[in-house]
Amino acid sequence: MDYINEYNKWLNNNAVDEDTKEELLTIKNNDFAIKERFSKHLEFGTGGLRGIIGAGTNRINKYVVRRATQGLADYIAQNESQDGKGRGVVIAYDCRRFSDLFAFEAAGVLAANGINVYIFENLRPTPELSFAVRHLGAIAGINITASHNPANYNGYKVYWEDGGQLPPHISDVVQEKINAIGMFTPEVFNRQQLSESSLVKIIGEQVDNAYIEAVYSVAINTAPDLLNKSYKLVYTPIHGAGNMPVRRILKRAGFDNVFVVPEQEHPDSSFSTVKSPNPEDSDSFELAISLAKEKDAGLIIGTDPDGDRVGVMVRDSNNDYVALSGNQVGVLLTYYILSQKLKKGTLPQNASVISTIVSTKMTEEICKSFNVRLFKTFTGFKFIGEKILEFEKNGEYQYVFGFEESYGFLAGTHARDKDAVAASMLIAEMAAYYDKKCKTLLDIMTDLYNEYGAFAEDTISITKEGITGIEQIQQMMHRLREEMPKKFGDFDITAVRDYKTGMRYTSSKEILNKLDISKSNVLYFELSNGIDFAVRPSGTEPKIKFYFLAQAKTREYAIQLIRKLQNSVWQHLGL
């Protein structure tokens, strides 16, 4: 792509507004900056389009949003046998900069194409968008969000009629249609035209009420005698869309002692109280910890800006607050849901749990003990959503719970994306249930290690920004795939799963077998001494992610093995 030529097209095109042109003039003599913005187009990744806010083809802005929406509109029109135009598209957005603007730009393109639009009156969490697509019988949904990315990012997620993110066979076609569209060619209704159009409907309370009731239906122990309903917990929405629905569902579930972090209660597009609005980062909980100590709370729950991920901290015996990893929360919820459903006689005989190939192996042992089938997919909740849809069509299994190690959880089938609102309710329920038995979630985690084995995991993300960063990530993947050693330090490579080729082979590239799933740039190394690691480029952030998974006689030794392996991997990659 001729980035200088593309840059000049934007500067000289009458369709480009003056503010955008002024922004581009600030980089007029900066070749590197122009290349960063114009050497490629944003493309659909694991979570749709996601990028830095700004002018350019490799940025997120109203022109990129219009073009993407036109591609979706063309796909809907192509499949008119589904009455896609009449069924319409639901649009939601979070608290980020320009989220509301981008939402109405998308609505403007859809309306200009004669497609009905349902747009939320203000910010809503991602899982409610997924639910709304199903609830309203829409053909698709659009959510303007960059999830837990830093404040200078925004994004564009697309959902299909089942409420799940676009599966690859559809997103690939939509991407082809986007590629065929000129950047400034989509017709778009302005705000005045939208307000006067019969195609556009503003939605809010009715969908909210239906969503909350759907989430509440996932609760397991609702009887007051089973839970300590006086249990105290602190909640922080980290300035995002989870604030109202999480507080409402906790109230609906009977929790009256919920204390919300006041400094993080209201929307703030700059996320001014945190370094990054990511519940995976313990630094995001500094204010929550202070409030928890003041209120003598046993639990802290935090959701990310679009309300699909949730982080948890638990008070220990020293009155300190300890963060649970996404894997640990997933394990706790898996055990709690299966054990309680079995106890109540509501666990289906064909029950299933879905996780990912890079999530903890401890889930396998728990599912075995309940005679529940565990399925593993690639990272990205759209793959879990695809599996749920498959079960609904063939009736072979009933979905009970699913999770990713990256703090995403879904109980029930009301939504088809990770749901921090439902997860927050179940985490609070679980904590109050065990508190009634004088145990914390840390105590239960220890019990599970004793029962199922000492497992440990660690996920390391290495950020590589910009075009140069993409090249560095590609070089690391190439080195691991094509310059593979026989061993990493003291750990022999017993097998390698290359999910890009769909093959499992030895370190000498001798084929062992085909893999059940393929076509994703993931390498998974099976090593000696009960330890594995996987690596993949992130589909939503400028990162390469390493996943280390170990089982040993003790958890402490498993952690030692992980640290030792990490040093060997970093040495091989020159990090």
For 26-48, the pLDDT digits (tens) are 999 999 999 999 999 998 765 68
Q: Is residue 559 part of a domain?
A: yes
pLDDT of the residue at 225: 83
pLDDT of the residue at 421: 98
Identify whether residues 375 and 228 lie together within a single domain: yes
With tokens 């000696």, the residue in question is: 528
As a whole number of angstroms, the distance between CA 265 and CA 276 comes to: 16
Mean pLDDT on 381-391: 94
Least confident window among 2-6, 523-527, 539-543: 539-543
pLDDT of the residue at 45: 67
pLDDT of the residue at 223: 85
Here the CATH number for the domain that contains residue 185 is 3.40.120.10
DSSP 370-417: TT-EEEEE-SSHHHHHHHHHHHHHH-S-EEEEEEETTTEEEESSS-SS
Q: Is residue 4 part of a domain?
A: no
**Confidence tier at 394 by pLDDT (50, 70, 90):** very high
89-93 and 140-144: which strand pairing? parallel
**Confidence tier at 168 by pLDDT (50, 70, 90):** confident
Q: Is the pLDDT of residue 539 over 80?
A: no
User: SS3 for 308?
Assistant: coil
For residue 457, how far is the Cα from the chain centroid?
Answer: 19
Identify whether residues 474 and 542 lie together within a single domain: yes
Handedness of CA 242, 240, 164, 463 (dihedral sign): negative
Q: In this predicted model, what pLDDT tens digit does every residue of 248-273 receive, in sequence order?
A: 999 999 999 999 999 999 999 999 99
Q: Is residue 267 part of a domain?
A: yes
CB of 277 closer than 8 Å to CB of 236:
no
Mean pLDDT on 324-337: 98
Identify whether residues 185 and 224 lie together within a single domain: no
Q: Supply 177's token pair.
A: 């249609």
| pLDDT, mean over the chain | 95
Return the closest-CA partner of residue 504 out of 359, 309, 382, 357: 357
pLDDT of the residue at 546: 97
pLDDT of the residue at 46: 59
Q: Is the pLDDT of residue 541 over 80?
A: no
Boundaries of domain holding 78: 40-203
Identify whether residues 117 and 220 lie together within a single domain: no
Q: What are φ and ψ of residue 533, in 5° steps? A: -150, 150
Return the closest-CA partner of residue 91 out of 184, 178, 156: 156
Identify whether residues 446 and 459 lie together within a single domain: no
Q: What are φ and ψ of residue 176, in 5° steps? A: -60, -40
Q: Is residue 3 part of a domain?
A: no
Identify whether residues 160 and 65 lie together within a single domain: yes
Q: Is residue 500 part of a domain?
A: yes
End-to-end, the C-alpha distance of the chain in Å comes to: 31
Identify whether residues 214 and 236 lie together within a single domain: yes
pLDDT of the residue at 47: 65
pTM: 0.95
DSSP 40-87: S----BTTBEEEEBSSSTTSB-HHHHHHHHHHHHHHHHHTGGG-HHHH
Q: Buried b / exposed e across 160-194, counting CB within 10 Å, b at 16+?
A: bbbbbbbebebbebbbebbeebebeebebbeeeeb
Identify whether residues 385 and 343 lie together within a single domain: yes
**CB-based contacts of 121: which residues, under 8 Å, 6+ apart?**
202, 203, 204
Q: Is residue 390 part of a domain?
A: yes
Handedness of CA 83, 86, 92, 97 (dihedral sign): positive
Identify whether residues 47 and 172 lie together within a single domain: yes
Q: Supply 300's token pair.
A: 């802290």
Q: In this predicted model, what pLDDT tens digit does every residue of 191-207 receive, in sequence order?
A: 999 999 999 999 999 99
Share of the chain above pLDDT 90, in %: 89
As a whole number of angstroms, the distance between CA 140 and CA 134 comes to: 9
Q: Is residue 9 part of a domain?
A: no
Final residue before a domain boundary, out of 203, 236, 260: 203
Final residue before a domain boundary, out of 426, 452, 478: 452
Mean pLDDT on 143-158: 94
Instruction: Give the Cβ contact number of residue 385 at 10 Å.
Output: 29
As a whole number of angstroms, the distance between CA 2 and CA 38 comes to: 8
Here the CATH number for the domain that contains residue 515 is 3.30.310.50
Q: Supply 120's token pair.
A: 């939320």
Final residue before a domain boundary, out of 452, 478, 502: 452
CB of 55 closer than 8 Å to CB of 20:
yes
Residue positions annotated with a catalytic role? 147
- Domains of the chain: total: 3
As a whole number of angstroms, the distance between CA 481 and CA 475 comes to: 10
Identify whether residues 317 and 266 lie together within a single domain: yes
As a whole number of angstroms, the distance between CA 534 and CA 64 comes to: 33
pLDDT of the residue at 136: 98
Identify whether residues 368 and 422 lie together within a single domain: yes
Q: Is residue 20 part of a domain?
A: no
pLDDT of the residue at 466: 82
pLDDT of the residue at 44: 78
Instruction: Give the Cβ contact number of residue 5 at 10 Å.
Output: 9
Mean pLDDT on 302-308: 97
Q: Is the pLDDT of residue 220 over 90?
A: yes
Identify whether residues 294 and 175 lie together within a single domain: no
pLDDT of the residue at 296: 97
Q: In this predicted model, what pLDDT tens digit does every residue of 278-297 receive, in sequence order?
A: 999 999 999 999 999 999 99
Torsion of CA 24, 26, 31, 36, to 10 degrees: -50
